[in-house]
Amino acid sequence: MVTGASRFFGSAVVAKLAQDPAVERILAVDTMTPSRERRRRMGRAEFVRGDIRNPLIRKVIGGNEVDTVVHTAMLAKPPSGGGRAAMKDVNVLGAMQLFAVCQKSPSVRRVVVRSTSAVYGCSAKDPAKFTEEMSARTPPRGWFARDMIEIEGFVRGLARRRPDIAASILRFAPIVGPRLAGRGVQYLRSPVTPTVFGRDPRMQLLHEEDAVAALAHAAQTAPGGTYNVAGDGALALSQAVRRAGRIELPVPFTVFRTAGRALMGSVMREFTGEQLDYFHFGCGLDTTRMRTELGFEPRWTTVQAFDDFIGGAALRPVFDPAWIDAAEKKLLGLIGAGTGAHQ
């Protein structure tokens, strides 16, 4: 059973599992009916209109003898209709009810939860790379991160009470890709990109295809536990701005989060607290456990994922990045020649 089936991650995971003949049956659950295109991609999966906050979800799990639950139905920001209260209701109360049902259902043997690296927070005190045992040095101020910390606590509680259930938490790095071009690093759409003066955060990204593949992989083989999931390598924000063909405008952080949001229009006004902090400090993840214990290997590196996002966003460069590279090389050559002359 996959929750959040009408949204991007839920529907994509359902579609991927439906292509695997080893998966006997798939239930796609959501309060809203998926679009016609998403429903078509789900193939043989059965859609069930249901609300995980409703105790009747027990009938869906028990009546169909569900053995694996993949929980992707989380809101990253408040819905336009209900605000923060509605967001917490869906995220925290929904997860609490769902895991309570899983605990009481003897057929359930595996639970996989989509989480986020935002639970580590972002601060100047952060290590170069977070391992799964580490916690936030500074408590996250974003609502989504705080919700996910609570949800992860529910998952660990489920694992303690039902040790026969393999409960897995996948902490994804920021996800980018052509189909998610309107999210994450969308502020690169602007010709002039404000950044925080004196900071050049290192970003570690995950391609949308790898995120879906990781969830599908975990649904079938995850042994339980917490796993960081991210592409290889890292990308400094200044490099990202250049690769997108944008012009960087360093400003103080107070300006970045206030006037910068106003000047950037709807793009930065919709930024969550997690996104503002990420573009201030960045976040690195240790993915050793992802490979050794989860047995998952991303196909896309951080740079490849970012470049695919840029291609999918159809950004028109303000300048050709190759021109800047050539200018830098020429400048370095001149500096080298000048240094040699003085010697």
What's the pLDDT score for residue 184? 47
What's the pLDDT score for residue 129? 95
Question: Structure pTM?
Answer: 0.87
Beta strand 202-203 pairing with 235-236: antiparallel
What's the pLDDT score for residue 19? 94
For the beta sheet containing 110-116, the strands, ordered from the edge strand earlier in sequence to the opposite edge, are: 46-49, 27-30, 2-3, 68-71, 110-116, 166-172, 225-229
User: Token pair for residue 51?
Assistant: 């609300």
Task: State mean pLDDT over 196-207.
Answer: 92
Task: State mean pLDDT over 207-229.
Answer: 96
Stated as kind and residue range, the H or E segment containing 13 is helix 8-18
Confidence of residue 134 (pLDDT cuts 50, 70, 90): very high
**pLDDT > 90: what percent of the chain?**
63
Of 150 and 176, the one with more pLDDT? 150
Task: State mean pLDDT over 72-96.
Answer: 91
pLDDT of residue 257 exceeding 80: no
What's the pLDDT score for residue 273? 72
Q: Are 176 and 305 in contact (CB under 8 A)?
A: yes
Highest mean pLDDT among 255-264, 270-279, 315-324: 270-279
